[in-house]
Amino acid sequence: MKIKFVMDKNYVIGDVDDRLYGSFIEHLGRAVYGGIYEPGHPTADEEGFRKDVMDLVKELQVPVVRYPGGNFVSAYDWEDGVGPVADRPKRLDLAWRSMEPNLVGLNEFSSWCKKADTELMMAINLGSRGIDAARNILEYANHPGGSYWSDLRKSHGVKDPHGIKLWCLGNEMDGPWQVGHKEAKEYGRLADETAKAMKYYDKSLELVVSGSSNGSMATFPQWENEVLTECYDSVDYLSLHNYLNNRADDLDSFLAANLKIDRFIDTVVSTCDFVKGKKRSRKQINLSFDEWNVWYHSNQQDKDISDRTPWQVGPPLLEDIYNFEDALVVGAQINSLIRHADRVKIGCMAQLVNVIAPIMTENGGSAWRQTIFYPFLQASLFGRGRSMKVIASDDGYDHKDHGQVPWLDASAVWNEEKGEISLFLLNRNRTESLNLDGVLGGFAGYAPVEHLTMVHDDIKAVNTAEKPDNVVPTAVKGSVKVEGESLSLDLPPLSWNLVRLKKG
């Protein structure tokens, strides 16, 4: 099937903020205990952090990691996680019906972030708590010394402040499942007052206010409208969350589901700008898509665990084992984020280790890359620069829920400094290759570097500890041809592709 497309130097969507390729670690399941932290593990360092996991995290070059939740944060007392470990309380975590031993807290996680070359994005509890918890953790984390909370940090052996710049004002406060769930106006007022207090301390902080938990919430997008109406002037980003699933086992629908994300983002952007208009403001609110992924494989198992054996430390919750089709859909979600790089500035793949994650571990055993690791890795490594518009002639297929779905799902990033172009390309067609015939306006002189493709004859194929390389990208030789500004290449049926070009 032939598809023509155009990408032009003059059609720039916007700069990709490196933080688009962030991730998330929650005190949930084995993300912390058995994931990043396992003191008895053969690879554990002096602080108990698994070095095998650390190496995989570093490979992903994750620029920012959101912590410590998630639903967990909405009943979390951050003070429990600091000070001598022997004195820390064990607490019931109501969000995940688990036992929180508080062996890892702010100081340990900050140290892990340094080792992992990543920035800490800290969420504060606006569910069961409020302004006091926020201002106190900020003083503890960021003030150099000479005040109660900063001196307490020093007395805990942490001389230098953590300098955390990016803070989430609660989590999914629109969700009735959230401890301390609130009405929009009520939350908007609390977020505003909390943000003001935090910015009295440091006006350079970047604050993320909670948007909708997904685009199907009954309160969406009125939630965004009401919340921002209260706190527009004091916050910097609005969050959005969304998970995709293939519960219906309908591949055509699953492959098109990222188009829902495009629409979700468009509506959130419109709502932000509507409030901007109402307020006659010159300030622009950008988006933090700080939870996205595929999530559904583990749902039944999770129900069984929390019903039958609640209150465990590090139970195996949300352990989705991802297959080949999930990798395609994760690639498509990344395309949606890149296509909106002008407004989506922060993204967090949820999550990073064991819990709906690209990295899986066995307690005491190995760590490996799930199928979804690869599209995320490719985007993180080669998706930094400027997001470029790609226009394709593509009739696609008609889907009852998604309308006209193009066969090709594409995003493109131009890194001018490095003289590199990366094309991220999904072929949704199960039986036919796509023969792309493109014009790269203004990009004469670029030559192909590599074409990596992910294909598999079993759409349900997975990677496991025993077969960690069952689903991986492979190099396609000689498929990409460039002549002047013309580019042609073939995308195999049902495939995820990275095509890289470099200035000659």
Choice between 166 and 455, CB closer to ligand AHR:
166
**Least spacing, CB of residue 318 vs ligand AHR, in Å:** 6
DSSP label of 89? P
Choice between 5 and 96, CB closer to ligand AHR:
96
**Least spacing, CB of residue 96 vs ligand AHR, in Å:** 8
Which among 61, 60, 41 is positioned nearest to 52, based on CA atoms? 41
Choice between 29 and 473, CB closer to ligand AHR:
29
**383 near ligand AHR, rule: CB under 6 A:** no
**Least spacing, CB of residue 168 vs ligand AHR, in Å:** 10
* 88 to 127: interface string for ligand AHR, x by CB under 6 A: ----------------------------------------
Choice between 217 and 251, CB closer to ligand AHR:
217
Number of residues that bind ligand AHR (CB under 6 A): 10
Q: Is 466 helix (H, G, I), strand (E, B) or coil?
A: coil
Strands 206-209 and 166-169: parallel
Choose the binding region for ligand AHR from 2-10, 67-75, 102-110, 276-284 (rule: CB under 6 A): 67-75
| 325 is an active site residue | no
> Phi then psi for 134, rounded to 5 degrees?
-70, -50
Q: What angle do CA 396, 397, 399 make, to 5 degrees?
A: 140
Are 313 and 99 in contact by the 8 Å Cβ rule? The answer is: yes
Are 428 and 408 in contact by the 8 Å Cβ rule? The answer is: yes
**69 near ligand AHR, rule: CB under 6 A:** yes
Q: What angle do CA 123, 217, 228 make, to 5 degrees?
A: 55
| Cis omega (within 30 of 0) for bond into 157 | no
From 139, 172, 224, 485, active-site residue: 172
**63 near ligand AHR, rule: CB under 6 A:** no
Give the CB-nearest residue to ligand AHR. 70
**Least spacing, CB of residue 75 vs ligand AHR, in Å:** 12
Of 98, 171, 333, 380, the one binding ligand AHR by CB under 6 A: 171
**215 near ligand AHR, rule: CB under 6 A:** no
Are 267 and 217 in contact by the 8 Å Cβ rule? The answer is: no
Of 71, 150, 378, 463, the one binding ligand AHR by CB under 6 A: 71
Choice between 246 and 351, CB closer to ligand AHR:
351
Pairwise CA distance, residues 113 & 403, whole Å? 43
Q: Residue 434: which residues within 8 A CB-CB, separation 6 or more?
A: 1, 2, 3, 407, 408, 427, 490, 491
Residues in region 290-329 near ligand AHR by CB under 6 A: 291
CB atoms near residue 119 (< 10 Å) = 18
Are 170 and 125 in contact by the 8 Å Cβ rule? The answer is: yes
Q: Is 307 helix (H, G, I), strand (E, B) or coil?
A: helix
**Least spacing, CB of residue 356 vs ligand AHR, in Å:** 6
**Least spacing, CB of residue 351 vs ligand AHR, in Å:** 6
Q: Largest alpha-carbon pair distance within the chain?
A: 69
Choice between 26 and 139, CB closer to ligand AHR:
26
Are 119 and 113 in contact by the 8 Å Cβ rule? The answer is: yes
Of 18, 52, 172, 485, the one binding ligand AHR by CB under 6 A: 172
Of 258, 333, 351, 429, the one binding ligand AHR by CB under 6 A: 351
Pairwise CA distance, residues 260 & 251, whole Å? 15
**Least spacing, CB of residue 21 vs ligand AHR, in Å:** 17
Q: What is the DSSP string of 214-240?
A: STT-TTTTHHHHHHHHHHTTT-SEEEE
CB atoms near residue 279 (< 10 Å) = 13
**210 near ligand AHR, rule: CB under 6 A:** no
**Least spacing, CB of residue 297 vs ligand AHR, in Å:** 14
**81 near ligand AHR, rule: CB under 6 A:** no
From 38, 139, 230, 291, active-site residue: 291
Pairwise CA distance, residues 395 & 405, whole Å? 8
**Least spacing, CB of residue 430 vs ligand AHR, in Å:** 30
**79 near ligand AHR, rule: CB under 6 A:** no
Choice between 71 and 271, CB closer to ligand AHR:
71
Pairwise CA distance, residues 392 & 409, whole Å? 9
Report how far Cα 85 is from the mean position of its chain's Cα atoms: 30
**194 near ligand AHR, rule: CB under 6 A:** no
> Phi then psi for 424, rounded to 5 degrees?
-110, 115
Of 82, 329, 350, 471, the one binding ligand AHR by CB under 6 A: 350
Choose the binding region for ligand AHR from 69-77, 254-262, 298-306, 435-443 (rule: CB under 6 A): 69-77
Residues in region 19-48 near ligand AHR by CB under 6 A: 26
The dihedral built from the CA positions of residue 126, 129, 135 and 136, taken in this order, carries a sign that is: negative
**Least spacing, CB of residue 24 vs ligand AHR, in Å:** 7
Which among 431, 423, 429, 397 is positioned nearest to 488, based on CA atoms? 423
Tokens of 463: 């990677």
| 108 is an active site residue | no
Residues that bind ligand AHR in the complex, under the rule CB under 6 A? 26, 69-71, 171-172, 213, 291, 350-351
Catalytic residues: 172, 291
